[in-house]
Amino acid sequence: MYWLIGVFLFLAFAYLVVRLWAEISALKRLEANIRNAREGLLEPAAIGRLGWTCAGRAISEYNATISTLRWMFKNVEDCQSRFHNEYTRSSTILQSLPGALLSLDEELHVTIANQQAESLFGAETEKLIGANLFELLNLNERDRELLRDAFLYKYRIRNQDISLNILGKTRFFSLNLGFYNDKEYDMGGVLILQDITEYRELMESLAMSEKLVVMGQLAGGVAHELNTPLGNILGYAQLVERGASALPALSGYARVISEEAQRCSRVIQDLLRYARHEQCTDNTCDINQLTVELIDAFLTCRLKRYLIEVQMNLSPGRLVAEGSGGQLEIVLTNLLNNSIQALDNVPDPRIVIESRFEAPYAILSVTDNGPGVPPDIRNRVFDPFYTTKPVGQGTGLGLSISNAIVAKQGGFIVYDGDYSDGARFVIKLLAVDMNRVRQ
């Protein structure tokens, strides 16, 4: 009987030893894998023949947890990868937008700015982030009120024309504004500014060209109808003047009639330039050479007579543009004549002629240090028959004819409203690549 109890106790003790060894072995495996997991290595632990132990069952639970974690981490990595791809795609789209984009928080501080915004404001993104919108934009009072009301009442803006003072120059932009949500007090949104200054200039030039076409059609008919009676008036006035040599008063009246008839004839000749349809030619001219020759050959004496200093800042080399040299000479002469008259009684009168290339245009500017053109009439300087000169000293056709000549060559003339030290007119003509022409 006692030996049976001894055997039972021995077997119990042996079982306890084996069980303890098995539990310790399983716990060591589990501990090693937990350390690996803490280091980021999510690998299942080998159970082997220890699955019957409590620690072995814990290993099974550990392996199931590790499997779930690996699946979750894989999903997270996939989400991160998709997020990164979407972020890259969105960033590429934002950076490739043709306009400057500013993302704003609810306090109207910049949170996102693209490269076009950096170029527009002359600052890196880090300096733009956090800037207040109304401190960043140099708006006039009308546009500031417009934008303020848009944020206050939360209405979207679509393609609204505004003007901004950028680096001391006034430029025009198309403004678009949208909001993130419709909450009353959340002003966060996206603002896009697209520079339309060149587009406005082209549209103004197109409108002027259309006006010139209509004016030319009218002028052609009127001029032909008036030429014959004016010729008769001039002829009879000259006959009266010759036959009234003994009557000084009558002779003087006839002379005045003759002079006025000649002035009317000159106006008609100017009008006919509107109606004249130039045939397409392949004429080109070197702007720099033409300018130098014009100043030297035709205007030097007159400029010296009025003690006007002339400065020429011409681009190096040749600057070839579409159009006839004779036609461009008329344009440049008109602009110079206007500058000479504007410099009357101006101390230290000066005219500066500059040329440069800005693809696709060859640009020629005429600047004087006279009083300039008042802002309220700048939009009328190219209108036919509009002049600020006294009666008898101008017909108001010089700038109109010049604009018509340049427009026929695919260019345009603009008055530089940003120049404040006088008047500056800028001629833009399509430039010619002579290397390609020769091929």
- CB-based contacts of 391, cutoff 8 Å, min separation 6: none
DSSP-derived 3-state class of residue 420? coil
- In this prediction, residues 249-255 reach a mean pLDDT of 77
pLDDT at res. 280: 46
The whole-angstrom separation of Cα 433 and Cα 359 is 11
Closest CA to 221 of 279, 275, 278, 277: 275
- The answer to whether residue 421 scores a pLDDT higher than 60 is yes
pLDDT at 243 > cutoff 80: no
B/e letters for 414-437, b = 16+ CB within 10 Å, e = fewer, are: bbbeeeeebbbbbbbbebbeeeee
- Token pair for residue 68? 């779930």
Model confidence at 426, in pLDDT bands (50, 70, 90)? very high
Is the model more confident about 288 or about 18?
288
Report the C-alpha gap between 290 and 280 in whole angstroms: 21
Topology (CATH level 3) of domain 284-438: Heat Shock Protein 90 (3.30.565)
Top mean pLDDT of 201-210, 315-324, 428-437 is at 315-324
> Which range among 16-30, 370-384, 389-403 has the greatest average pLDDT?
370-384
Given a contact cutoff of 8 angstroms between Cβ atoms, the answer to whether 319 and 362 are in contact is: yes
Contact 99, 116 (CB under 8 A): yes
Instruction: Quote the tokens at residue 385.
Output: 């028959």
pLDDT for 439: 44
Task: Give the start-to-end residue ranges of the domains of the chain.
Answer: 2-91, 97-195, 202-275, 284-438
Q: What is the mean pLDDT of the chain?
A: 77
User: 393 pLDDT exceeds 70?
Assistant: no
Spatial distance between the Cα atoms of 268 and 270, rounded to a whole number of angstroms: 5
Residue 87, pLDDT > 70, answer yes
Residue 370 has pLDDT above 60, yes or no: yes
pLDDT band at 343 (very low <50, low <70, confident <90, very high): confident
- pLDDT for res 391: 47
Average pLDDT over residues 41-66: 71
DSSP 178-228: EES---TT---EEEEEEE-HHHHHHHHHHHHHHHHHHHHHHHHHHHHHHHH
- pLDDT bracket for residue 366 (50, 70, 90): very high
Cβ–Cβ < 8 Å for 350, 368: yes
Rg of the Cα trace of the chain? 42
Would the CA dihedral through 406, 407, 409, 415 be positive or negative? positive
Average pLDDT over residues 90-96: 74
Spatial contact of 191 and 133, defined as CB atoms under 8 Å apart: yes
Higher pLDDT, 318 or 208: 318
Give the pLDDT mean for 135-163: 85
Residue 271 binned pLDDT confidence (cut-offs 50, 70, 90): low
Question: Of 44-58, 132-146, 358-372, which range is least confident?
Answer: 44-58
CB atoms within 10 A of CB 393: 8
At 394 the pLDDT is 56
For the structural domain made of 97-195, what CATH number should be given? 3.30.450.20
* Weakest-pLDDT range from 19-23, 299-303, 391-395: 391-395
Q: How far is CA 164 from CA 104, 139, 167, 423, in A?
A: 19, 5, 10, 21
> Dihedral angle at the C-alpha atoms of 325, 331, 333, 337, nearest 10 degrees?
180
Higher pLDDT pick, 208 / 194 = 194
DSSP character at residue 307: T
Q: pLDDT grade, residue 52 (50/70/90)?
A: low
* Residue-level pLDDT at 425: 92
Cα 420 to Cα 152: distance, rounded to the nearest angstrom: 36
